[in-house]
């Protein structure tokens, strides 16, 4: 668990490994950078703790962990704490109380810190304009962006941009490159083997140590590439139709390659995509499942022209699969029936593939779909971020 050290005499907080050596009696510790900021401390300019997001302690209640994941997914970008609490069947007052008790911050304060930290990374790493950084980071307005950045970093966005180091800027032709920092232990070699064994032909590829995949943002196609950086980060190169909401693309990409919590392994880009793969792979090996998923994609996925490395399509949505004739997709009849049942339930909203549901409820909901077994349900749950007991 990451512990941030805040020095009372300087008003600065650092992440583990920083070279600063304050007197022990002047140090306070926090489990979250956001909690240090709420207490009035600002980020160290040497170790730059905003670069690496520490995981939530496994000692925190499952409810808190699920709420944090929903915040990461953007639940408070346009919604309120009351909206978030309703999704979790709580009152807003109780949600704030358990956040303060276990994390030291309110849900709104955590969301603000995340947006500000991502914006600071973008100001360092990219040449996007200040306005583009604001909306890429999930802020609703430039006024809110400027206010929150000043509160968290004690400087304006333009001052922070002017202060960045020469080595900070990452430039790439034909896309935006960002660092995906991680803390050991993390094994990119094992992760890419895991991804390669499950890569859907036309949608994903793993070649020469680089993972690539197509994605859809509100119907617009894009491509993500993840490759090794240095000993403490991967590099994400994003080719997107627009930059608004980039913070969520980066968060999802990090979870997809297992950076959110290295102990749980790779996550998922698309929840329905992972669920469909689990259904298809229930009664055949991974190699056969890849072939069948590729056939499904060619028949139903949206073609995307002009791409390289075997990328040709977007994976089809639940709506498309629910209304399709699956007899021509080379799926066994039982598998096709199960996949259609799940797709119909997801499209109708009766099955929600996210972490809002507790693990037992999610597994029970999934196994209520005819033909979807418990092992497949557990696999889906872990790829969505749940920890199995």
CB 158 within 8 A of CB 43: no
Q: How far apart are CA 187 and CA 153, in angstroms?
A: 32
Q: Where are the beta strands (DSSP E) in 48-158?
A: none
Axis-axis angle for helices 62-72, 92-102 (nearest 10): 100
Q: For residue 330, how many other CB atoms are within 10 A of its CB? A: 15
Residue 26, φ and ψ in degrees, nearest 5:
-100, 5
Q: Tell me, what's the pLDDT at 170? A: 61
Residue spans in the chain of domains classed CATH 1.10.340.30: 271-383
Point out which residues pair with 205 in neighbouring strands.
212
**Class assignment of domain 271-383?**
mainly alpha
Give the predicted TM-score (pTM) of the model: 0.83
Q: How far apart are CA 4 and CA 42, in angstroms?
A: 11
CATH superfamily of 62-163: Homeodomain-like (1.10.10.60)
Give residue 186's Cα distance to chain centre.
16
Q: For residue 155, how many other CB atoms are within 10 A of its CB? A: 15
CB 304 within 8 A of CB 194: no
Q: Tell me, what's the pLDDT at 2? A: 63
Q: Tell me, what's the pLDDT at 322? A: 95
Owner of token pair 């980020």? 43
Spatial strand order of the sheet with 27-30 comes to 27-30, 4-7, 12-14, 42-43
Q: At a CB cut-off of 8 Å and minimum separation 6, what does 40 contact?
A: 11
Residue spans in the chain of domains classed CATH 1.10.10.60: 62-163
Q: How far apart are CA 166 and CA 156, in angstroms?
A: 19
pLDDT along the chain (389 residues), means of 10: 84 84 89 92 88 72 90 90 94 95 94 94 89 93 94 93 74 76 87 96 96 91 93 91 90 91 82 96 93 95 92 96 88 93 95 89 93 94 87
Identify the three-state secondary structure at position 221: strand
Task: Provide, for the chain, the percentages of residues in helix, strand and coil under a 3-state DSSP scheme, each rounded to the nearest 5.
Answer: 45, 15, 40
CB 363 within 8 A of CB 378: yes
Q: Tell me, what's the pLDDT at 313? A: 96
Residue spans in the chain of domains classed CATH 3.40.10.10: 4-51
Owner of token pair 């199995």? 388
Q: For residue 280, how many other CB atoms are within 10 A of its CB? A: 26
Determine the longest span between alpha carbons in the chain, in angstroms: 70
Q: CATH classification of 4-51 is 3.60.130.10, yes or no? A: no
Q: How far apart are CA 137 and CA 330, in angstroms?
A: 42
Count helices and strands in the chain by DSSP H and E runs: 17, 9
Q: How far apart are CA 389 and CA 387, in angstroms?
A: 6
Judged by phi (left if over 0) then psi (alpha if -120 to 50, else beta), residue 270 lies in beta
**Class assignment of domain 176-243?**
alpha beta
Residue spans in the chain of domains classed CATH 3.30.310.20: 176-243
Q: Tell me, what's the pLDDT at 194? A: 95
**335 HSE (CA, 13 A, CB side):** 22
């Amino acid at each position: 668990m990451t512990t941030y050290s805040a020095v009372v005499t300087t008003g600065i907080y650092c992440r583990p490994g920083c070279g600063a050596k304050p007197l022990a009696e002047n140090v306070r510790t926090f489990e979250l950078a956001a909690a240090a900021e709420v207490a009035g401390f600002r980020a160290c300019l040497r170790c730059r703790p905003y670069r690496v997001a520490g995981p939530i302690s496994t000692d925190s209640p499952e409810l808190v962990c699920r709420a944090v994941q929903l915040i990461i997914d953007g639940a408070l970008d346009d919604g309120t704490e009351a909206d978030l609490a309703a999704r979790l069947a709580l009152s807003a007052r109780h949600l704030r109380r358990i956040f303060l008790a276990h994390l030291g911050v309110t849900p709104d304060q955590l969301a603000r810190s995340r947006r500000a930290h991502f914006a600071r990374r973008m100001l360092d790493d990219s040449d996007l304009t200040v306005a583009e950084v604001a909306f890429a980071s999930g802020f609703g307005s430039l006024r809110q962006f400027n206010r929150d950045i000043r509160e968290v970093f004690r400087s304006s966005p333009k001052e922070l941009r002017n202060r960045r180091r020469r080595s900070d800027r990452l430039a790439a032709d034909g896309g935006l490159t960002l660092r995906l920092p991680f803390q050991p232990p993390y094994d990119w070699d094992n992760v890419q083997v895991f991804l390669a064994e499950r890569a859907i032909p036309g949608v994903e590829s793993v070649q020469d140590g680089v993972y690539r995949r197509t994605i859809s943002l509100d119907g617009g196609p894009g491509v993500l590439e993840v490759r090794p950086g240095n000993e403490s980060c991967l590099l994400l190169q994003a080719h997107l139709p627009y930059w608004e909401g980039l913070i969520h693309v980066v968060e999802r990409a990090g979870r997809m390659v297992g950076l959110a919590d290295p102990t749980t392994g790779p996550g998922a880009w698309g929840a329905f995509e992972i669920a469909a793969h689990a259904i298809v792979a229930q009664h055949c090996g991974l190699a056969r499942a890849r072939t069948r998923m590729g056939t499904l994609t060619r028949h139903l996925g949206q073609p995307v022209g002009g791409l390289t490395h075997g990328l040709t399509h977007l994976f089809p949505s639940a709506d498309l699969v629910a209304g399709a004739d699956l007899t021509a997709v080379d799926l066994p009849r039982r598998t096709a029936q199960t996949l259609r049942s799940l797709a119909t339930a997801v499209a109708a909203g009766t099955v929600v593939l996210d972490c809002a549901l507790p693990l037992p409820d999610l597994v029970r909901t999934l196994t209520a779909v005819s033909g979807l077994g418990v092992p497949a349900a557990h696999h889906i749950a872990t790829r969505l971020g749940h920890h199995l007991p």
